[in-house]
Structure formats: C-alpha cells, structure tokens
Amino acid sequence: MLDDRLLCAASLVRPGSRVADIGTDHAYLPLYLVEQGLCPSAIASDVRPGPADSARRHVSEAGLSDRIAVRLGDGLVGIAPDEVDDIVIAGMGGETIAAILQTAPWVKSDRYRLVLQPMTRSEQLRRWLLTNGFTLLTERVTRDGKHLYTVIAAAYTGAPPVTEEVAYYRGALTGEDGAAFLTKEIARLKKQQAGCRVSGNQSQADRLQHLIEQLEGSL
C-alpha cells in the first residue's frame, strides 16, 4: 500500500515507461507500478543493504523478480542510461536529490522524465533543475497529516538558466494546494529573517524581505 506521497509520484510516471526508483526502501513504488500494469519493468535501488534486502524479498514474494531488478547502489551510479525512461527520487532532502542528479550528467536528455519528491529544501532542488536546462512540467502538492510536500515532474529541454530566486520557491505550484505550500514556505522564510535580524545580518534580512514580498504577491 502506497502512502499519498508515493501515490502522487506514481501518478506522474509516464505509462509504459521503464522506471528507476532511487532510494526505493521496500520497493513499494516499483511493485505498485508493475502490478498495476503502468510500467513493464523497473529498477529498485537503495544505498543501504537493509532496505535493499527488504526490497528484494518483497519483489520475490510478489513473483516479479524477472521484471523488477533490485540493486544496491549509491544514487544513479549503478543505473545505465539505456535501462530507464523515468527516474523517481522520493523521500530525501532537496539538496540530496540535486546532488544525486549532479553525479549523472546523462539525465540531461529529453528522453527522460524526472519525478522528484523532496522532503525538505525543495527550493534547492528547483534551483539545480532551473539552472541546468530543465523545465518544471508540473508540481502537485500532497499532504501527510499536517505536513505538505511537493512532487515535481521535470524534463531536460535545454532551457536558459533561470536566475530569479523567487522561481526557486514558486516553481510550478498552482491552485489552492500550491498556495498552501507557498504559505508554508513564506512562514519558514520569515523565521530565517527573524534570525538574521537577531544576529545583526541586516543585508540578509533585507534580501529575505524582498523575496517574501514577491512570494506573497504571487498568492
């Protein structure tokens, strides 16, 4: 059974694509995609031996070892470019996801779709995408109790770098859920700003004020 975050990620995977799930944990997402007939095959990869063993066991119990390959590996290092079409990286910090993508320059091709679910620092992930030629195709917001998370679908288009900081926070968020996510981000920025004022870093506080005003103006 997938939680709402992973269901949202699954909904952004292209039907018929071969998918790699990085940081797969128990392989729940690849199992769901293959069992539902959404993907013909998948790679479930995790850097930790325990989750990789658990994933291997779940795949075997489902009788899908011939369609889901379980690998022990760090990020995309163990994935060959011609093995996959869509890449899912979920449940990590935005900076960690960006670092994983940075180690695999082959993802800069329009043949791939990236489905990314940052738990924190989504702006750092969008910054990497928007300054490396990627376009944000869509974003969907999902709820887990009181917490809001965004799921980003992106593809390489060779677009010029986006340098406006506000774009790293606003992304492709739309609708009421997008506004709710932005409101949460604004509250976080205001806390950072208060800390800057306490520490006497007025220039940083002023920069954050400008960013906050831009984001509030987009609600």
Q: What is the CATH number of the domain that holds 9?
A: 3.40.50.150
Q: Per-residue pLDDT tens for 13-63?
A: 999 999 999 999 899 999 999 999 999 999 999 999 998 999 999 999 999
To the nearest whole number, what is the mean pLDDT of the chain? 95
Residue 11 is predicted with a pLDDT of 96
Instruction: Give the torsion through C-alpha atoms of 76, 161, 9, 113, to 10 deg.
Output: -60
Instruction: Say yes or no: 157 and 185 in one domain.
Output: no
Q: Could you tell me if 153 and 200 lie in one domain? A: no
Token readout for 4 is 């709402």
Give the closest residue to 67 by CA, choosing from 38, 36, 34. 34
- Phi, psi dihedrals of residue 179, rounded to the nearest 5°: -65, -40
Q: How many domains does the chain have?
A: 2
Q: Please check whether residues 124 and 218 belong to one and the same domain.
A: no
Q: Which two tokens stand for residue 195?
A: 């800390």
Residues 148 and 185 in one domain: no
Q: What is the pLDDT of residue 168?
A: 97
Task: Assess contact for 2 and 91: CB atoms under 8 A.
Answer: no
pLDDT at 2: 85
Matching residue, tokens 């997938």: 2
How confident is the model at residue 1, as a pLDDT? Answer: 72
Domain with 83 in it: 4-173
98 & 184 share domain: no
User: Which residues of the chain register pLDDT less than 70?
Assistant: none
**CB atoms closer than 10 angstroms to residue 37:** 9
Same-domain check for residues 155 and 187: no
- Say yes or no: 203 and 136 in one domain: no
Residue 196 sits in the same domain as residue 121:
no
Q: In the chain, where do the E strands start and end?
A: 19-22, 42-46, 68-72, 86-92, 113-118, 134-144, 147-156
Coil, helix or strand at residue 164: coil
Helix, strand, or coil (residue 177):
helix
Residues 54 and 83 in one domain: yes
Name the domain boundary from 136, 157, 173: 173
DSSP state of 200: T
